[in-house]
């Protein structure tokens, strides 16, 4: 929380166990996002299915990650962080077990959906830390959680490929299952049970409309390249998603008015998932826009354009997939593990907004160098390493920290969950744009590096827009600034972090 009195914990917990418990909870989900990618061909072979259906499993995983973060983070305002985290871990256990034992692609898809929903553990971990720690300790712990959420410094993707080649993809899910079981026990033992922060009850109509809107947008963005951007399914997905989001805004406006009535104050009516006044303020929309544009620019390039270019024997370096990953993916991930705790320490001291601006400016500069010196392997290596620090480490951590400290009382889960969803929206948008532009350039007869320059310059333009959006983020109110400077009294649970 920021500029309000924090609720006392209902049950004291040993703080030495809290951060490791949250790390295990987040890591149990995260390896399903990072380790599986190189093992996807093994899934196709062992389940006797098609690459299209396996690709759908990835789409569903990230789609329901966005939906889960929005709905479960907000529900935690009413039910408490710890119960929702335990529910997420239960779904992660069920999903990991389903994928590990899947006899066919249908069971595998169901398992990936359950695993995706459990992405809310990341938002819930941030909210829990903010509920019980003082500002300085929150910043340090948030940086560590952000670093863990990036995986094992790039080694996890390589390990996933090795497991697929030697044991099979099921070993990855058995590892996830083990981490989820350990994480559940650790959360139950080490995470304090903080009372709910909101009165009233969950607005399931609003949550459903928001989930439907996000589903339409993400499916349209993810499948647009394969369906065709002018095809009927793509148009229906995108238009349906936008209409659902418009309906969501209208419902939230009505809920917001009702919330201010005596009935809602008494806790008998559903309250808005997120107050439209907050959504329209500079506390929220510039932050959400910054997250979306940052992910669209950086993630699309790092996940698609750069790997394609470095492995292209005609336009790029002609590297193998493993060699390209070791040189141009793993270092950036590893350096991000250093940058995230650094941002977590600096955020409460200098202000999360200022650190977010530093990350945005650094990412823009590093990516501009990468584009300008694309044909120099060492220059590209150095630029992407810096991008690992500024984007993977500083920006991601600072934007998540901002989402927590900017949220008003009673809506902590709403803004944090929406921010988490925007990470998924931005990533989907970035990969869709990069894929479409590279494909269009190739079919249009572009030769050599020209096949990639359109996608790279688009990513650069998105990072320029992200920098502009970050400048519009509202400065924290005076009381919240005091919170960042550590002047607020500490929580009943001490911080040994």
pLDDT for res 69: 84
How would DSSP label each residue in 171-235? HHHHHHHHHHHHHHHHHHHHS-BPPPS--SB--HHHHHHHHHHHHHHHHHHHHHHHH-TTSHHHH
pTM: 0.77
Q: What is the average per-residue pLDDT within 217-230?
A: 76
In 3D space, the residue among 461, 463, 358, 473 whose CA is nearest the CA of residue 419 turns out to be 473
Residues whose CB is less than 8 angstroms from the CB of residue 26 and which lie 6 or more positions away in sequence, other chains included = 121, 122, 125, 145, 148, 149
Q: Give the chain's mean pLDDT.
A: 80
pLDDT of residue 113 exceeding 60: yes
Residue 316's pLDDT band (cuts 50, 70, 90): confident
Considering only CA atoms, which of 232, 284, 224 is closest in space to residue 412? 284
> CATH assignment of 15-200, given 1.10.10.10, 3.40.1160.10, 3.90.226.10, 1.20.1250.20?
1.20.1250.20
The angle subtended at Cα 20 by Cα 22 and Cα 418, nearest 5°, is: 20
Banded pLDDT at 257 (limits 50, 70, 90): low
For 276-484, which CATH class? mainly alpha
* pLDDT single digits (tens) 139-175: 888 888 888 766 555 666 667 667 777 788 888 899 8
How far is residue 11's CA from residue 317's CA, in Å, rounded to a whole number? 57
* pLDDT band, residue 321 (cuts 50/70/90): low
More confident site: 151 or 344: 344
Copy the structure tokens of residue 59.
């789409």
Q: Where are the domains of the chain?
A: 15-200, 203-272, 276-484
Fold match flag (15-200 vs 276-484): yes
> pLDDT-derived band of residue 375, with 50, 70 and 90 as boundaries?
confident
Residue 323 confidence (pLDDT) above 70:
yes
397 contacts 347 by C-beta, under 8 angstroms: yes
Considering 12-16, 224-228, 491-495, the range whose residues carry the highest mean pLDDT is 224-228
Lowest mean pLDDT among 144-158, 297-311, 386-400: 144-158
**What local confidence, expressed as pLDDT, does residue 260 receive?**
53
Residue 487 confidence (pLDDT) = 38
Nearest to 138 by CA among 301, 296, 312, 347: 347
Q: How far apart are CA 102 and CA 117, in angstroms?
A: 18
DSSP structure class, residue 315: T
Instruction: Name the band, by pLDDT with cuts 50, 70 and 90, for residue 5.
Output: very low
Average the pLDDT over 357-383 and give the result: 93
More confident residue, 41 or 107: 107
- Please state which of the ranges 61-65, 197-201, 291-295, 418-422 shows the lowest mean pLDDT: 197-201
Q: Are 245 and 425 in contact (CB under 8 A)?
A: no
Q: Which residue in 118, 25, 129 sits closest to 71, CA to CA? A: 118
Which residues are bridge partners to 193 per DSSP? 11
**Max alpha carbon distance in the chain (Å)?**
69
Provide the CA 362 distance to its chain's centre, in angstroms: 20
Between 293 and 215, where is the model more confident? Answer: 293
């Amino acid at each position: 929380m920021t500029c309000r009195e924090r609720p006392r914990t209902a049950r004291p917990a040993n703080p030495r166990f809290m951060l490791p418990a949250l790390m295990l909870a987040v890591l149990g989900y995260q390896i399903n996002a990072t380790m599986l990618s190189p093992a996807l061909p093994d899934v196709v072979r062992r389940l006797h299915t098609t690459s299209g259906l396996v690709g759908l499993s990835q789409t569903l995983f990230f789609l329901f990650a966005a939906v889960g973060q929005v709905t479960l983070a907000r529900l935690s305002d009413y039910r408490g962080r710890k119960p929702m985290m335990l529910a997420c871990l239960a779904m992660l256990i069920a999903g990991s077990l389903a994928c590990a034992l899947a006899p066919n692609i249908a069971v595998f898809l169901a398992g990936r959906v359950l695993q995706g929903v459990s992405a809310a553990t990341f938002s819930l971990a941030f909210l829990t830390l903010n509920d019980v720690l003082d500002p300085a300790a929150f910043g340090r712990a948030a940086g560590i959680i952000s670093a863990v959420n990036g995986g094992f410094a790039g080694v996890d993707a390589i390990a996933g490929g090795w497991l697929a080649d030697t044991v099979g993809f099921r070993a990855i899910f058995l590892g996830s299952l083990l981490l989820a079981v350990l994480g559940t026990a650790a959360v139950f033992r080490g995470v304090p049970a903080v009372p709910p922060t909101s009165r009233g009850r969950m607005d399931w109509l609003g949550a459903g409309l928001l989930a439907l809107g996000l589903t339409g947008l993400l499916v349209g963005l993810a499948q647009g390249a394969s369906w065709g951007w002018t095809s009927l399914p793509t148009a229906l997905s995108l238009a349906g998603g936008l209409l659902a989001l418009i309906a969501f805004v209208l419902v939230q406006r009505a809920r917001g008015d009702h919330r201010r009535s005596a009935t809602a104050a008494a806790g008998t009516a559903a309250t808005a998932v997120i107050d439209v006044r907050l959504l329209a303020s500079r506390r929220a929309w510039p932050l959400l826009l910054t997250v979306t544009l940052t992910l669209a620019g950086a993630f699309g390039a790092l996940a698609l354009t750069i790997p394609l270019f470095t492995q292209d024997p005609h336009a790029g370096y002609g590297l193998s997939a493993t060699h390209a990953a070791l040189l141009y993916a793993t270092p950036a991930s590893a350096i991000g593990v250093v940058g995230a705790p650094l941002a977590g320490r600096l955020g409460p001291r200098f202000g999360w907004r200022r650190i977010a601006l530093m990350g945005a400016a650094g990412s823009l500069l590093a990516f501009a160098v990468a584009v300008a010196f694309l044909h120099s392997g060492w220059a590209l290596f150095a630029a992407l390493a810096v991008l690992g620090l500024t984007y993977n480490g500083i920006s991601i951590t600072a934007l998540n920290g901002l989402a927590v400290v900017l949220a008003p009382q009673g809506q902590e889960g709403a803004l944090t969950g929406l921010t988490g969803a925007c990470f998924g929206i931005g990533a989907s948008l970035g990969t869709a744009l990069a894929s479409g532009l590279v494909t269009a350039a190739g079919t249009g007869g572009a030769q050599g590096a020209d096949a990639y320059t359109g996608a790279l310059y688009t990513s650069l333009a998105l990072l320029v827009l992200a920098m502009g959006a970050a400048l519009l983020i509202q400065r924290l109110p005076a009381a919240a600034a005091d919170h960042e400077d550590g002047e607020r009294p500490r929580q009943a649970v001490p911080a040994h972090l």
